[in-house]
Amino acid sequence: MAEPGGAGAAGGGGSGGQQQGSPAAGGVAAGRPARSAAESPGGPGSARTAGKKAQLRAAPRAKKLEKLGVYSSCKAEESCKCNGWKNPNPPPTPPRAELQQAVVSLAEPCRSCSHALAAHVSHLENVSEEEMNRLLGIVLDVEYLFTCVHKEEDADTKQVYFYLFKLLRKCILQMGKPVVEGSLESPPFEKPSIEQGVNNFVQYKFSHLPSKERQTIVELAKMFLNRINYWHLETPSQRRLRSPNDDIAGYKVNYTRWLCYCNVPQFCDSLPRYETTQVFGRTLLRSVFTVMRRQLLEQARQEKDKLPQEKRTLILTHFPKFLSMLEEEVYSQNSPIWDQDFMVSSSRTGQLGIQTVISPPPVARSVSYSASPSSLEQPNSGNMSPACKVSSAIDPNLGEKRKNNEPYSMEDSKRPRVVGDIPIELINEVMSTITDPAAMLGPETNFLSAHSARDEAARLEERRGVIEFHVVGNSLNQKPNKKIMMWLVGLQNVFSHQLPRMPKEYITRLVFDPKHKTLALIKDGRVIGGICFRMFPSQGFTEIVFCAVTSNEQVKGYGTHLMNHLKEYHIKHNILNFLTYADEYAIGYFKKQGFSKDIKVPKAKYVGYIKDYEGATLMGCELNPRIPYTEFSVIIKKQKEIIKKLIERKQAQIRKVYPGLSCFKDGVRQIPIESIPGIILM
């Protein structure tokens, strides 16, 4: 085999490879055969290998020569083709602990070619102890890979193991250093790397936060990067079975690179090791992010009782929100965090002064053997393909989870200061008094006050991963995704139950019409609400057709949060007007969401495009692209707190008693009135 990961398709890949998301310590998903401990990077097998290496390096030189002779070609005669010394008196298999193995003499003949051991190791006479120890390490890695080749059932993984086995075997014969050759190229494979992209994301989204909150984000970023470095990719054959429409050839190349440069070097330290986050970029991250996010949140919820309180708040409250915002940037086509010149442009603004998450460039290094990270520092086992991210060939956003819209750039937020503006130093001082250091995006409590915003409870549930929002739709050009179809059926049922005056056939026709999309609200895997709409990009508006939340989930803020997500979805697609015909029971809801009877869209734009309903009122809503709607109530709440604190400070100054004026004793006849302490001019 010339190189790992050839172009040919894997033949009948078995189930021996680790599933995507399985822990580094060898955790196995239900319903699959377990890999042996010897095959699990970072597990007991690799720890035993490390112990063997340390024991062998401390052995006498004669014992080392015997071990290396097994992998060294005979040099007694040019015609001798023996490629390794074979002990004429091999030890019993398995070796018996009570028998002390004697050191073999250099004069001992080879069982294969009859030449002495010395003829096989003559090239090692003047080799330093350090170089000999390096070669011994390669020997044990070769033996370890030999075991992996025979136990691995997946064809693609077995092929890579065998390639690396032959590569290290050759390095012993030639006393060289292992270099992976072929079409895989050398790391890094994509720029910017995952690590740099996450660092850019932290600077792009959170540079405005106070230092304590910003440090919380940095800790989340480090946690996320660490989990990627210990994440196990699913094999190409598994991915082909789950997602036959994916780019399997491209994934296979990245999988092979990951095995050669990141995974296998974890338990074969004679190979140069690179961190996954430092040598791979957006392409690999997209292939694992959806599954990884879901599995991490599930594991966190399952193990929440084992976490200390401070870790519990960080992982259960802030981590889901962090992952949702990062997911938006990972799958967005226009995210600036993946630009090569991101750091250059941000340094010109001089306002993104956050510390780098992990700054060193990707450098190969040897890894010492140690215990695996704790369960919360590793990914959980997963079995879902990221292919379900997209549900329609018409629009790549169908079936895509809704995330908060990206904020405006620093340039957009700049504006000339107005005379009388409150100094920024005072604002920062007030912010430090109203912001809970344990919170990520402002003051939040464990309970909701009577004055909380309508969508606050729903927003907190989304942040904890209890509810999710997905834009879904039917397609005539692509094989239906089972999960998407189940959601569409669930939406049809919700609309039919909550809108009894609408014919069920009419609801079904529109929900499954490829021209219509629906923003679905998912809780515990089932649909509990949604907004069905049709976009008219050429006319500059969208018609809202159905809007409903199931009766037992109402009065929880879900309707408001649904509409806010829909607004941000349309701002992202540059459509800034909603139109809808509201019946008498829905007018109140739409008024709360910013709709009015004053239609901003010219009549010529929508006449003939939207459906006219008898007895309903046409209402419209104009969107402001500068408003982050899903966080709008939080921002307003924070602004109110700032104003309240500023008023309290001003009142405290007014109540202050100043001493009388003493300047007149010095002969001063008059002074400007504004110079008198305590006088406030209106």
Selection from 273, 272, 270 nearest residue 135 by Cα: 270
Strand pairing class (577-582; 541-549):
parallel
| CA-derived radius of gyration, the chain | 33
Please give the backbone phi and psi of residue 532, each rounded to the nearest 5 degrees, phi first.
-90, 135
Per the CB < 8 A criterion, the answer to whether 189 and 257 are in contact is yes
Assigned token pair, 96: 């018996």
Assigned token pair, 183: 């079409």
Per the CB < 8 A criterion, the answer to whether 601 and 579 are in contact is yes
631 is catalytic: no
Torsion of CA 28, 34, 40, 45, to 10 degrees: 130
Catalytic pick among 543, 584, 648, 674: 543
The position carrying tokens 């009859």 is 114
Listing from the earlier edge strand, what are the strands of the sheet with 577-582?
Answer: 400-401, 467-472, 517-523, 526-536, 541-549, 577-582, 617-622
Assigned token pair, 17: 């490879």
Per the CB < 8 A criterion, the answer to whether 579 and 541 are in contact is yes
| Distances in whole angstroms, Cα of residue 478 to Cα of each of 331, 391, 395, 508, 532 | 20, 8, 11, 20, 21
Selection from 403, 537, 406 nearest residue 471 by Cα: 403
Please tell me what DSSP assigns to residue 601: S
Whether residue 192 is preceded by a cis peptide bond, meaning omega within 30 degrees of 0, is yes
Encoded amino acid at 430, one letter: V
Measured distance CA(521)–CA(529) in Å, rounded? 5
Encoded amino acid at 505, one letter: E
Selection from 328, 329, 323 nearest residue 223 by Cα: 323
Per the CB < 8 A criterion, the answer to whether 435 and 476 are in contact is no
Query: What residues are annotated to the active site?
Result: 543
